[in-house]
């Protein structure tokens, strides 16, 4: 065990010296990776639960403008925990790709 430890220490200690003797400069230590700043994500999107959208007055207005009557629908209590993407599977005739795209754009504009 001591032999393995001594060999490892010697390899680490002597590596820069060996590189200097061969004329090759020692490898520069890698610069620490700097995480990229995340893009400003929209506060609300099609994956946000509907009840969270409705809790914000501006987001609710955007939702109502594109999907009038959604929050007053008789089954609202049953689907309010779902996102619009999830709900679209049950109401594909009302939540068409065009309507969803328009709603998503309106929700993304809410600050």
Q: Would 32 be classed as within a structural domain?
A: no
Instruction: Say if 89 falls within a structural domain.
Output: yes
Structural domains counted in the chain? 1
Q: Which domain holds residue 64?
A: 50-108
* Region 10-19 average pLDDT: 48
The confidence score (pLDDT) of residue 6 equals 42
Give the distance between the most distant pair of CA atoms in the chain. 82
Judge whether residue 60 has pLDDT over 90.
yes
The whole-number average pLDDT for the span 11-34 is 55
Residue 63 lies in a domain: yes
Q: Tell me the β-bridge partners of 83.
A: 49
For residues 84 and 95, the answer to whether their CB atoms sit within 8 Å is yes
Q: What angle do CA 85, 98, 87 make, to 5 degrees?
A: 20
pTM given for the model: 0.63
Q: Distance (Å, rounded) from C-alpha 72 to C-alpha 87?
A: 15
């Amino acid at each position: 065990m001591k032999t393995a430890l001594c060999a490892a220490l010697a390899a680490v200690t002597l590596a820069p010296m060996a590189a200097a003797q061969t004329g090759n400069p020692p490898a520069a230590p890698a610069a620490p990776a700097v995480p990229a700043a995340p893009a400003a994500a929209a506060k609300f999107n099609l994956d946000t639960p509907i009840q969270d959208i409705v809790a914000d007055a501006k987001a609710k207005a955007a939702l109502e403008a594109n999907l009038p009557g959604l929050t007053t629908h008789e089954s609202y209590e049953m689907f309010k925990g779902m996102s619009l993407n999830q709900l679209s599977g049950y109401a594909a005739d009302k939540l068409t790709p065009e309507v969803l795209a328009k709603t998503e754009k309106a929700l993304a504009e809410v600050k």
